[in-house]
A and B are shown apart, each in its own frame.
Chain A
C-alpha cells in the first residue's frame, strides 16, 4: 500500500461546465424545447427593441425649439424639452421655482436620512419630517408670509403636484390608519364595528368615486359660503381612501406581534396607550415598513386620477400639453416621458421595499 505524501495539483474543471458556452448550454439551450423557447424569445426581443431604439434614439429629433425642427421619422423629444419645466412644476410662476426646489431638496434630504440605515437620530428626523416640515413646506410653496408672493393652488401642477398629493395623502393617512387599526382590534364592540365599517367602505369603492364624492358632495356637506379649495378636496378624498388601506397594513403588522408582548407590558402596569406606543407599535413598525412602502407606491400611481376632477398632476399636464394645437401628434412622446418618470419613482421604491424586507427578515418567520 502506498501513501501519497504530496497533494495532487488541481486540474481545471471540465470544459463542458465552465465558461460562456457552458452557461449558454445550461441556461438557454438545455434541450430542444428550451432552445425553441430561447430562439422565440430572442425574436420577440428583436421585434420589440429594434423599432423602439430606432424610434426613440436613432431617428429622434433632439435639438430645436418648435415642431418644425421635428422633421425626422422618429420621436420628437423637442416637445418634451420645451415643455419640461411645465411637466415638473405645472403653472408655478417661473421666477418662484426656487421655492419648490428648496422644499423638494430638503424633503429629499430628510427622506434619504430616514432611508439609509447607518445614519443616527432617526427618531428626531422622523418627527421633523412629520410635523414642522409639512407646515413650513406649505408656507414656502403657498407664500403670503415673509414677503413671499402668493401662489394659488390652481397654479400648482406637474410632478410637483403628484408628489404633494402622494406625500400629504400618506402622512395624513398614517395617524388615522393607526387609530383605525387599533380600533379594529379593540374589544369594545361599537368602536370595533365602526372601524370595520369605515375601513371596508373605503376599501370597497374605487378611488375615482371617492374623488367624485369629494369634489361634488363635499361642498354640499359644508355650510354654504364655505368654499373648499379643489386641491384640499382631492386631498381629503385621498386621505380617507388611503387611511383605510393603511389601517389594514398596520393591522397586519400588529397581528404579527405575539400576544405575550402586550401581556408582559400589562403585567408591568402599563396602560393601553403605553402598551401600544412603547411596546407593540415600535415592534410592529418593523414588519409594516415594506407594506407601507407598497401602499405608497400604489397611492403614487393612483394620484393620476385627480386629473379626472380637473387637477393638473404630471399625467394631467402632459395630457393638456398634447392638445396644444402647436404640438399636435406627439402623444407617444408625452406618454413615454410621463411613463418613465412614474416608472423611475415606483421601481426604485419597490426595490427599496424589497431590500428592507430582506434586511428586516431576521429569521423569525420560519
Chain B
C-alpha cells in the first residue's frame, strides 16, 4: 500500500518493518532459511543412519534379481526378473484394477444416481439406502468383507459354482474362457477401424447438411449399426477365426482360460461399490443443480423429451458433474493401494512392500511409489483444469 501511494512518500520514511515489500522479503528469506536448515538436518541424519545400517543409496538395486514370485502379472515376470521389473508389474496391476474400477464405478454410480431421482418412491429409497450404507463404511472394511467373508468362503475347485460349464468360480478365483485368435483375425481390427472412420464421416456430413438445409438422418443410430454390423459381417465372412479355450479342472485346480485371482475380485468389487456411492451423489446433485426453468424452456421450444435431455440438461449437468467426478476417479486410483492389505500385487504391495523389505532401500522405493501417484494426480488435475476452462460459462 505504502509503495503505491505517492502522497505518503512525501512524509518521513517509515521504518523498514512497516514497508510491505521489505517485510515480505525478510519473511520469505527466513522461510527459505528455515526450510533449508530443516532439509539439511534431515538429510544429514538420514546419511548417518544409512551409514550406520550399511545401506548404500542409489537406484542400482533396480537391476538386481528380485527372487520372489508375483501372483498376477500382465507382463512376463519370473522370480529371476529384476527389482525394476517388479515396479512395472506392480504399476500395471494398479492401473488394471483402477481401470476396471473406474468403469464399474461409473456405470453403477450413474445408474444409482439417476435412480435416486426416480419418481418411483421405492426405487429412490433403495438408491438412497445404497448410497448411505456404502459411503459410510470404511473402504478397507469393505475390502476385507468381500475377501475374507465372501470370496474365502466359496467352495473348493472340485465343487465350483459354474455358469453353463464355461465360467467357474471357487475359492481360488474366477475362471473364464479365453478367446484364441487365429490367422484370419487380423481383418477384424481393420474392419472396426473402417467402421469408425465411416461413422465419424457420416456424423460430420450429417451435421453440415443439417446446418445448411435443416434436414438430417439419424446418424448416431446408423453409425452404431455400422460399428456393430461391419465387424460382425467380417467375422462371419472369415469363418469366425476365434476359438475359446475353456477352463478345465485338472488335479486340484483349473487350468486354461483366464484366471481372475480372488484378491483382484475383492479389491475391484469393494472399490467399485464404494466409489459408486460417491459418484451417485455427484450425479444426483449435478442433475438437481440444473434449474427446472431450463427444462421448461426447452419444452416450450417443443423439443422432444430425448433432445431436452441431450441438448439442454445433460451438457449443463456435466459441467457440474465432471470436476468432482475426476477427483473421485483419482480417489479410486489412490485407494487401490489398499490392495496391500489383502495381498493383491499392486504397486504398493509389491514394490513398497516386498521389494522394500528385501532391499531396505526405503527412501528410493517410497519416493518412486509416491512419484507414480503424484504423476497420475497431476495429469488428472491438468486434464480437469483444461476441461474446466473449456466448459466454463462465458460471463460478461
Contact = CB atoms under 8 A, between A and B. Distances in A.
Given A45-B126, A220-B363, A27 B378 contact: no
A339 B149 CA distance: 13
Given A216-B356, A347-B136, A206 B126 contact: no
B136 A346 contact: yes
A315 interface: yes
Nearest to A36: B120
B217 interface: no
B121 A27 contact: yes
A136 B352 CA distance: 38
Contacts of B363: 217, 220
Interface stretch (B106-114, B163-171, B305-313, B367-375): B367-375
A185 to B, nearest CB: 14
B49 A220 contact: yes
B278 to A, nearest CB: 10
B133 interface: yes
A28 B28 contact: no
Contacts of A332: 145, 149
Given A188-B28, A319-B144, A342-B138, A335 B48 contact: no
Interface stretch (B189-197, B205-213, B219-227, B333-341): B333-341
Nearest to A339: B137
Interface string A333-363: 0010011001100110010000000000000
Interface string A190-216: 110010000011011111110011001
Interface string A292-317: 00000100011011011000000100
A247 interface: no
Nearest to A39: B122
B370 A205 contact: yes
A217 B378 contact: no
Contacts of B121: 27-28
A224 B366 contact: no
Contacts of A175: none
B24 interface: yes
B53 to A, nearest CB: 9
A342 B45 contact: no
Contacts of A203: 377
A302 B341 CA distance: 13
Interface in B1-36: 1, 24, 27-28, 31-32, 35
Interface in B43-63: 45-46, 48-50, 52
A205 B144 contact: no
A85 interface: no
A201 B374 contact: yes
A343 B136 contact: yes
A296 to B, nearest CB: 13
A315 B141 contact: yes
B120 A304 contact: no
Contacts of B337: 206, 208-209
Nearest to B122: A41
Given A34-B119, A335-B149, A209 B366 contact: yes
Chain B interface secondary structure, helix, strand, loop or mixed? Answer: helix
B348 interface: yes
B123 interface: yes
A13 B149 CA distance: 54
Contacts of A65: none
Given A220-B45, A221-B46, A331-B149, A38 B120 contact: yes
Contacts of A335: 141, 144-145, 148-149
Nearest to B360: A216
B290 interface: no
Contact of A346 (B48, B137, B352): B137
B179 to A, nearest CB: 33
A331 B147 CA distance: 10
Interface in A6-30: 27-28, 30
B342 to A, nearest CB: 11
B118 interface: yes
B280 interface: no
A347 B32 CA distance: 44
A159 interface: no
Contact of A338 (B46, B48, B141): B141
- 7 closest A-B pairs by beta carbon, nearest first, are A204-B377, A27-B121, A346-B136, A206-B334, A301-B138, A206-B337, A190-B28
Given A37-B122, A335-B148, A338-B141, 11 more contacts: A30-B119, A45-B122, A191-B28, A200-B377, A205-B377, A206-B335, A208-B348, A301-B136, A301-B139, A331-B152, A347-B132
Interface of B: 1, 24, 27-28, 31-32, 35, 42, 45-46, 48-50, 52, 118-123, 126, 132-133, 135-141, 144-145, 148-149, 152, 334-335, 337-338, 340-341, 348, 352, 356, 362-363, 366, 369-370, 373-374, 377-378
18 contacts: A30-B119, A37-B122, A38-B120, A200-B377, A203-B377, A206-B373, A207-B334, A212-B348, A212-B352, A212-B356, A216-B362, A220-B46, A220-B50, A224-B45, A304-B138, A331-B152, A335-B145, A339-B145
